[in-house]
């Protein structure tokens, strides 16, 4: 009986992959201010990227963590942004969380 239940779960996952039903994570910026974290949510990643320079100025921080999902991928993708020597926001680290 256990074997049949396992087969049903595998078929269910395959159907989800073929229909591209993926989890979506709202693009968000996590800003650490002292001992607290401020969260900013955005409708699209494009909007978030446009607002990154303003977030650095608004909160006066050295780095911002961005969490989002990537098209056609499962899971949560992170990016750590910092200002470079030209005062331009740059991704210094990224990967799957």
pLDDT in tens, 19-52: 555 558 899 999 999 999 999 999 999 999 999 9
Tell me, what CATH number does 78's domain have? Answer: 3.30.1710
Q: How many domains does the chain divide into?
A: 1
- Tokens at residue 78, please? 């992170």
Does residue 5 sit within a domain? no
Please state the pTM of the whole predicted model: 0.73
Q: Look up the domain containing 49 and give its range.
A: 23-96
> In this structure, what are the phi and psi dihedrals at residue 77, rounded to the nearest 5 degrees?
-100, 135
> Alpha-carbon distance 21 to 36, whole Å?
34
- Around Cβ 6, how many Cβ atoms within 10 Å? 10
In the chain, pLDDT over 70 holds for what percent of residues?
A: 76
């Amino acid at each position: 009986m256990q074997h049949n239940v396992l087969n049903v779960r595998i078929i269910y996952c395959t159907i989800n992959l073929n229909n591209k039903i993926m989890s979506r994570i709202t693009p968000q910026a996590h800003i650490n201010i002292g001992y607290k974290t401020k969260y900013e949510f955005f409708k699209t990643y494009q909007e978030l990227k446009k607002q990154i320079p303003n977030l650095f100025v608004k909160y006066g921080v050295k780095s911002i963590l961005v969490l989002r999902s990537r098209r056609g991928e499962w899971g949560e993708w992170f990016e750590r942004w910092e200002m470079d020597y030209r005062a331009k926001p740059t991704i210094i680290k990224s990967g799957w969380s």
